């Protein structure tokens, strides 16, 4: 379930479908949540049967689910030679690297503490099995024509199906996340990608990401049939809105818009920021107010 589904619908909301239709939201400077509420929302699992559980109960059940996947589920679909602890360690490594272009080489290095001889090909196969079990989702790269000579990076970003599952794998509860904003930030980015994917699917859209060899990037690109697209940057704090909007502008400037068309919108999704439209037309919205 998305945050929209598992939280009470706010009085002001920003619809993804409306953004593609050219509708821009009214300003609501108080729309964002405080950091403790953001952490609570992040750790509240989106699995429907678990939305009413406490954070501790949810984490316990999610860790039990990871154990079941490693011991039982993955062996139902393939013969694997490693012990369950190796699959559990892979899930932990994936949780540590959510929302990044992690390589199988890096994942293999993370797992060698429990499987010293494991190679990249085996890790790739195991990740594929976890995708078949709907534990891992890949966010594919967007590869438009560019104005510059930059090369588009073509590695996918990998996400666990629920950011609360990633937090449980890492043993990260409220206290740990309050003291580790970097981990909180990547888990929040994964939560945003999850919800954008849900909302985009309702309008036959897809969610990818963009990064080029010049270091320009967009956290999410939403594309619709026919070629329309929107650009999204994700930031934990509302105070990062100006920098996020500038980053989007710099990345969009690399895209050959004569071929791809101008973006239908530029969107910054935050955890604690307001709903507003900046002077350059960038829309800001907290995840708690993002709607289908």
Query: What pLDDT sits at residue 10?
Result: 65
Contact between 139 and 75 under an 8 Å Cβ cutoff? The reply is no
Question: Which two tokens mark 198?
Answer: 């849900």
Show pLDDT as tens, one digit a residue, over the chain (292 residues): 999 888 876 667 899 999 999 999 999 999 989 999 999 999 999 999 998 899 999 999 999 999 999 999 999 999 998 999 999 999 999 999 999 999 999 999 999 999 999 999 999 999 999 999 999 999 999 999 999 889 999 999 999 999 999 999 999 999 999 999 999 999 999 999 999 999 999 999 999 999 999 999 999 999 999 999 999 999 999 899 999 999 999 999 999 999 999 999 999 999 999 999 999 999 999 999 999 9
CA dist., res. 184 & res. 165, Å (int): 13
Query: What pLDDT sits at residue 51?
Result: 87
Strands 14-15 and 290-291: parallel
Question: Which two tokens mark 151?
Answer: 């090369």
Q: Which residues pair with 275 in a beta bridge?
A: 28
Name, in order, each residue with C-beta under 8 angstroms of 50's C-beta and a sequence gap of 6 or more: 58, 61, 62
Contact between 268 and 244 under an 8 Å Cβ cutoff? The reply is yes
CA dist., res. 236 & res. 230, Å (int): 20
How many helices, marked H, and strands, marked E, lie in the chain? 13, 10
Q: Which of 145, 182, 136 is nearest to 163 (CA)?
A: 136
Q: What is the dihedral of CA 143, 204, 275, 10, to 10 degrees?
A: -150
**Backbone torsion region of residue 161, taken as left when φ is above 0, otherwise alpha when ψ lies between -120 and 50, otherwise beta:** alpha
Query: What pLDDT sits at residue 159?
Result: 97
**Single pTM value for the model:** 0.96
Query: What pLDDT sits at residue 12?
Result: 76
Helix 55-68 with 84-96: angle, nearest 10 deg? 130
With residue 284 as reference, give the H or E element that holds it. strand 283-286
């Amino acid at each position: 379930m998305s945050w929209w589904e598992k939280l009470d619908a706010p009085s002001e909301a920003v619809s993804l479908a409306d953004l593609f239709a050219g509708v821009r939201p009214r300003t609501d400077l108080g729309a964002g949540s405080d950091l403790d509420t953001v952490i609570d929302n992040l750790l509240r699992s989106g699995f429907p049967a678990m939305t009413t559980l406490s954070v501790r109960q949810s984490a316990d059940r999610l860790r039990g689910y990871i154990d079941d996947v490693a011991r039982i589920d993955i062996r139902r679909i393939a013969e694997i030679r490693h012990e369950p602890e190796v699959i559990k360690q892979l899930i932990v490594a994936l949780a540590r690297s959510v929302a990044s272009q992690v390589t199988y080489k890096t994942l293999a290095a993370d797992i060698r503490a429990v499987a010293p001889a494991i190679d990249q090909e085996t890790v790739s196969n195991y990740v594929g099995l976890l995708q078949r079990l709907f534990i891992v989702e890949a966010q594919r790269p967007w590869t438009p024509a560019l104005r510059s000579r930059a090369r588009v990076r073509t590695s996918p970003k990998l996400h666990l199906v629920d950011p609360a599952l990633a937090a449980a794998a890492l043993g990260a509860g409220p206290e740990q996340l309050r003291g580790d904003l970097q981990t909180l930030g990547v888990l929040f980015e994964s939560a945003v990608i999850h919800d954008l994917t849900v909302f985009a699917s309702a309008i036959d859209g897809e969610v990818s990401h963009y990064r080029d060899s010049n270091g320009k990037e967009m956290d999410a690109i939403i594309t619709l049939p026919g070629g329309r697209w929107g650009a999204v940057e994700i930031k934990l704090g509302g105070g990062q809105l100006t920098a996020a909007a500038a980053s989007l502008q710099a990345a969009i400037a690399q895209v050959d818009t004569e071929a791809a068309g101008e973006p239908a919108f530029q969107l910054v999704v935050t955890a604690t920021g307001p709903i507003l439209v900046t002077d350059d037309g960038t829309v800001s919205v907290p995840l708690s107010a993002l709607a289908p």
